[in-house]
Amino acid sequence: MTNIQRKALDRRLYEEAVDVFTAEGGRVQPSAPREEPMPSPRLPEHPLPLVVKQRNFAAPTAAERELMAALDIHFGAGGFEFESYRYDRLPDAVLYARLASRRRDANGEHRS
């Protein structure tokens, strides 16, 4: 049944029900006027600025730099980077680098 057929059937069934109701002495009340839709909340004209906290990372120690070099992790102003990912903490970058290395080894892939 198409949408048009369903609408026609619904309309016909509604009209039949009204006819039966009024034939038995009932009165159909006019439908109440629709309420105005609630207005959407107004946004401020000057939105508040986003607060971006500047983090100062301590430079990695010599041992950490050696580990980073082995795993191809780089240190920059934004934190620690491995491939296209940025991490705030070195342990997170190391865990992901090791996971990626295990996945490559399991798939027999070689990193270029």
Q: What digits encode the pLDDT tens for the residues 46-97?
A: 666 665 555 666 788 899 999 999 999 999 876 889 988 888 889 999 999 9
Which residues have a Cβ under 8 Å from the Cβ of 73 and sit 6 or more positions away?
A: 67, 80, 81, 82, 90, 93, 94, 97
Asked whether the beta carbons of 96 and 85 are under 8 A apart, the reply is: yes
Query: Model-level pTM?
Result: 0.47
Strand ranges across the sheet with 85-87: 73-76, 79-82, 85-87
Q: Are 81 and 73 in contact (CB under 8 A)?
A: yes
For the chain, domain boundaries: 1-28, 62-107
Strand blocks (E) in the chain: 73-76, 79-82, 85-87
